[in-house]
Amino acid sequence: MNYDYNTQRKRMALPEYGRNVQKMVDHIKTIEDRDERNRAAKTIIGIMGNLNTHIRDVGDFKHKLWDHLALIANFELDIDSPYPVPEPSKFVEKPKQVPYRQGEIRFLHYGRIVELMINAASEMEDGEEKEYFTNLIVNQMKKSYITWNRAQVADEVIIGDMKLLSKGRLKITDGVKILEVKELIPAVKRKPQGKADNKQQNKPYNKKKVTSGTNGYFYCPWG
């Protein structure tokens, strides 16, 4: 007996549409009449849209479906597509390398974003706006320190690190307030552990007199 395994079948370009869609696309490539082939392609587009309804949330999803049809057909489907057929070379070219900024981060627990914020705030003129950003930065630094180190930290340490990173250009003024740990990282509320609701345990015994068959009596502890 010969078994038909998926591993032995033709590879699907877009497996999310399923094997049946792949077979339909392969079939319409064999249709000689162009008008009939166009009608069949539109029918498959409708089926593909119903199979992947999440694509409808994407802008111009019809265009995306026609691109997928061309990809499933391995760009060998000769039809009158309402959109230009994508170039096959676009699917084989390597993605561009993402440039990463070189250089070391002075304090890893603060991260590079905090350093960039300090540099930007240091360039600002003295005033309420600079004081406001300094307040945000110093509290973010304290929050990051506690998050990564899981330990208490003195405010003097945070202030010293900020002065070091800003090269003395950022200062703590009267308007800058460093929050407490509980204000920066609220404690996680734990659900109260409820007591087992065992009504049978709390139910008082209903004692009844039961004749023992002799002249005496005894109590029956159950109902």
Indicate if the pLDDT at residue 179 is higher than 90: no
Question: Which residues have CB under 8 Å from 132's CB, separation 6+?
Answer: 175
Q: pLDDT-derived band of residue 54, with 50, 70 and 90 as boundaries? A: confident
pLDDT for 218 equals 44
Angstrom distances, CA of residue 2 to CA of 23, 42, 68, 172: 20, 35, 33, 79
pLDDT for 146 equals 86
| Cβ-contact 61, 82 below 8 angstroms | no
Indicate if the pLDDT at residue 203 is higher than 70: no
The alpha carbons of the chain give a radius of gyration, in whole angstroms, of: 36
Q: pLDDT-derived band of residue 40, with 50, 70 and 90 as boundaries? A: very high
Q: pLDDT-derived band of residue 178, with 50, 70 and 90 as boundaries? A: confident
pLDDT for 101 equals 67
| Cβ-contact 141, 176 below 8 angstroms | no
pLDDT > 70: percent of the chain: 75
Partners of 220 in the beta sheet? 208
Partners of 211 in the beta sheet? 217
| Cα distance between residue 173 and residue 180, in whole Å | 17
